[in-house]
Amino acid sequence: MKGQIKMIYFDLDHTLWDFESNSQEALKMVYQKYNHIFREISLNRFVESYKKINKRLWEMYRKKEIGQVELKLLRFEITLNALKIKHREDLIEEMNSTYLEILSKQKLLVDGAVETLEYLKDKYELGILTNGFRKTQIVKMKSSGIFDYFSILVSSEDVGFPKPDEKIFNYAILMSKKSKDEIVYIGDDFENDILPAIRCGIGAIWFKNHEDSLETQETDVLSISKLIELKNIF
């Protein structure tokens, strides 16, 4: 793989940017800002309810069952309704905007991210391929200090099709101006990152860095458990 590769695309959330830790902190700050509506609801109960609902809605988004606007608003609306919290009608949009603003400014990266990017930056062109909202992802990358490592950012907003749709991968290939055998994609989600990349004919490296990875059946796909292992591959 090393000899022919010229372009490396990364997923952002859960792969380079520590989404779980950063989201946890953002939700805590949202809870504190709107603590007057939560009353008897604990922070932990709010966070766990939100995470469960958000995960389900992201799956619906990936399957094109809902759009970005619905995703942004429904996750908080359904969470508050599930917790039986009364709220004014315009609070949902305000709460979502607050969450995204706080979230995008969080700086925690996955262990080894900067060291790995420093190693790769002079050897390969680097890009981001993400389902996240473009504006939010740019702020995340700038806040965490990794924006300048990348020459290309492809988001599902640009294409109108989220991963695992192969159209977003084909768009990323086109944007790179490289042939398929010169590109590799690195992501943490086997179904949404690795399989569609392989179907599109580009290389794929599975970053098995969370519990969901352990539940997926082993394959002959090249995998790593730490980002720093990429130094041994490239």
Look at residue 19 in the predicted model and tell me its pLDDT. 95
pLDDT in tens, 52-78: 999 999 999 988 899 888 998 899 999
In a domain? residue 1: no
Distance CA 155, CA 137 (A): 9
Q: What is the pTM of this model?
A: 0.92
> Which pLDDT band, with edges at 50, 70 and 90, does 216 fall under?
low
Look at residue 133 in the predicted model and tell me its pLDDT. 87
More confident residue, 2 or 146: 146
Question: At which of 66, 83, 104 does a domain end?
Answer: 104
Is there a single domain that holds both residue 36 and residue 98?
yes
Is there a single domain that holds both residue 229 and residue 167?
yes
CB 62 within 8 A of CB 131: yes
CB 117 within 8 A of CB 234: no
**Mean model confidence pLDDT for the chain:** 93
Question: At which of 52, 70, 104 does a domain end?
Answer: 104
> Which pLDDT band, with edges at 50, 70 and 90, does 123 fall under?
very high
Is there a single domain that holds both residue 114 and residue 179?
yes
Counting the structural domains of the chain, the total is 2
Token pair recorded at residue 64: 């094109």
CB 145 within 8 A of CB 106: no
Look at residue 69 in the predicted model and tell me its pLDDT. 87
pLDDT score of 210 more than 80: no
Token pair recorded at residue 88: 């004014």
pLDDT in tens, 142-190: 999 999 999 999 999 889 899 999 999 999 999 999 999 999 999 999 9
In a domain? residue 35: yes
Is there a single domain that holds both residue 159 and residue 214?
yes
> Which pLDDT band, with edges at 50, 70 and 90, does 131 fall under?
very high
Name residues whose C-beta falls within 8 Å of residue 194's C-beta, 6 or more positions apart in sequence. 185, 187, 204, 206, 221
In a domain? residue 2: no
Is there a single domain that holds both residue 24 and residue 119?
no
Question: At which of 51, 74, 104 does a domain end?
Answer: 104
Domain region containing 218: 7-18+109-233
Is there a single domain that holds both residue 125 and residue 176?
yes
Distance CA 234, CA 182 (A): 13
Look at residue 217 in the predicted model and tell me its pLDDT. 59
pLDDT score of 230 more than 80: yes
Whole-number percent of the chain with pLDDT over 90:
84
Is there a single domain that holds both residue 120 and residue 83?
no
Is there a single domain that holds both residue 139 and residue 207?
yes
Look at residue 1 in the predicted model and tell me its pLDDT. 66
pLDDT score of 223 more than 60: yes
Is there a single domain that holds both residue 134 and residue 200?
yes
Residue range 206-213: mean pLDDT, rounded:
79
pLDDT score of 31 more than 60: yes
φ, ψ for residue 105, nearest 5 deg:
-95, 0
Q: What CATH number is associated with residue 163?
A: 3.40.50.1000
Look at residue 39 in the predicted model and tell me its pLDDT. 86
